[in-house]
Every structure is written in C-alpha cells, then in structure tokens.
Amino acid sequence: MENNGLPNQKYLNLVERLVNSPNIEDVIESVSQEISENPNFYLFLFKTVELLRANEASKGNQNVADLLNELKVKLYDYNEGIPLDLPKSILADKNLKTMYLGDYGGVAHVSEKWDAFQTVIGEKVNSIPQKSVLLFLYWCELMLEVNLVRHNQHCKKGSDCGVNQGYDRRNQYILRLIEEMTPQPVQDKSQSASAIDIVNKSRNKIQWLGTQKELAELFVELKKKGWIEKFENETIQDCFTESNSLPQYLKPSTNRKTKEDTFDNLYTGYTPLFYAIKENPKRRK
C-alpha cells in the first residue's frame, strides 16, 4: 500500500539496498514476485529515489543526491522505460521517448516545436483510457528527467543551454497537468474536468517565452508605472504558461521609509529587463 501517493517504507528499504549493492540485477531479482504482482512497482521505486534525492540535496548531502541520481538512470536502463500499466502505443513510440521527451532542440523558443509537443501529449491523452492518463503523465515526467540527466553528462552550458531550457519548459507543463489532474479529497466528481479538457485548457494559455522571473518583473513594472491595477498571482497563473513559481517571486515586503512594496526574491541575482517601461501618462495621481 502507498500513503498519499508516496512510496512507503518497503520502497525506501529497497532503494537503500540498491544504493549499497554493486549489482542491480541481483537486488531486482530478489523482488521479482512483487514486480509481477504490482504493475506500478517501478513507478513507485522511481518516485522513491526522487523523494530521497530531493531530501538529501536539501540537507546538503550532494554526494548521496548524486549517487541516487546515477541510480535512477541505471534503473531506467535496466528497465527499458518502466513497464507501467500503459498501452503499447505509448511505450513503443520511439519518437515520444527519444524526441518529444528527449533532447528536442528549439522547443523552449520555437513556437512550432512547442505546439507540436503539446499536440503529441494531447493526442496520447486522447488515445488511452482515462484511468491511465495520470500514470502516462508521471511516465513523461520521468522520461524528461532521465534524458536531462544524460544530456547534462556532456553539456557544459548549464542554464544557458537551449536544450536544458526546453527540458525545464516541458517538465513544468507536465507537472502542471499532473497537479491539475490529481484528485482533490473533497472535489465533487460532477465538477472534475476530463484529462482532455485539462490539456486543452493548458494549451489555451498565453505562451510565455521568457523566464518566470521575467514574467514576474513585467507585472511588477506594469503596476509600478500605472498600466494595471492590483493583480492576483492566481490570475496570471491561469492565463500564462511558465508561471508555477510566480508566487515566490511576487511575495512582497514593505520598505519602511517609502511604504512601497519591494520584491527581494525577484531582484536578487537578477538583471532587470523591463525598467524601461514608461509611465502611463493618464495614470491617476
């Protein structure tokens, strides 16, 4: 059994064995019966590695986090794509795994490629049973992450790399779909949107082609220069893509002397781009 969607202690113990074992095959073989009985076995195993890696990185144990990262890639290679309870049309689609969820150059900045990626995801969602859609999106998230790790093994550009930016943009899109599709405890079933509706809703958002900090700065400056009134973060997130982290950048504090809002999380370590926006000549004083 899993608790609130998170892997339980048996998966934590298994990851510990895998990390300490020189031979993944021997460890996996020892739980072969459980694998055959649980089609989501590898999904929960991968999510456990991800959970532990994030926890170790947050505590500063980068060596352990890196080790878990390598383990995740080895598990992927061993498992050849994670045999979830997904149709063969998904798992056997090489273009989906190697191109749309791989080093898909230009997807971060070229609208045609970005549209093509969303179209492919939408078509896959439309072609599989409703019960499999969330597993499919988790699988997409995993493929993006594993392929990004492989890319970074030889990439020297870091955050300046267009391919890296493409991974970030696609991952945020998939995570947003997962969040929107995750059932809420008190949600009325009659009010829940279908998977296709959610994908289409996301596609209908304004496609922001900059970073989230740049989007946050744009709205701060528009308000400061008198072009818009007070805005809600949720409204921007409903209208724009690439806006998941917007609230943390738009969290204001107040300057004690001027009584004006300041945005320390936005302007720290960031070169402003929209300072040149002119004052609205018709703004009310």
Token readout for 139 is 């699988």
The CA–CA distances, whole Å, from 125 to 44, 128, 181, 237 equal 21, 6, 12, 23
Please report the pLDDT score of residue 183 as a whole number: 58
Distance CA 121, CA 95 (A): 12
Separation CA 48–CA 55 (nearest Å): 11
> Which element (helix H / strand E) includes 110?
none
* Residue 153 dihedral angles phi and psi, to the nearest 5°: -70, -20
Q: Kindly give the confidence (pLDDT) of every residue in the chain, 285 residues in length, as a single tens digit, with 9 standing for 90 and above.
A: 344 445 577 788 888 888 777 777 788 788 777 777 665 677 677 777 777 777 777 777 777 777 777 777 777 666 655 545 677 778 778 888 889 999 998 898 898 999 999 999 998 888 888 777 877 888 888 788 878 878 888 888 876 788 888 998 898 888 888 877 765 544 444 445 566 665 666 666 777 777 777 888 888 888 888 888 878 878 887 788 766 667 777 777 766 666 677 776 676 656 677 878 888 887 655
Rounded to the nearest 10 degrees, the angle between the axes of helix 162-181 and helix 195-203 is 140
Q: Give the count of beta carbons closer than 10 Å to the beta carbon of residue 2.
A: 13
Token digits of residue 273? 């781009």
Task: Tell me what pLDDT residue 117 has.
Answer: 93
Residue count of the chain, please give it. 285
Q: Can you give the residue ranges of every domain in the chain? A: 1-83
Q: Which residues contact 222 (CB under 8 A, 6 or more apart)?
A: 228, 277
Is residue 259 packed enough to be buried (19+ CB in 10 Å), middle (13-18) or exposed (0-12)?
exposed
pLDDT at 222: 86
Alpha-carbon dihedral sign for residues 232, 233, 237, 243: positive
* Cα 151 from Cα 264, distance rounded (Å): 33
What are the tokens at 226? 């008198």
- In the three-class reduction of DSSP (H, G, I as helix; E, B as strand; rest coil), residue 284 is classed as coil
| Model pTM score | 0.49
Please give the Cα distance from 13 to 21 (Å, whole number). 12
pLDDT for the residue 269:
59
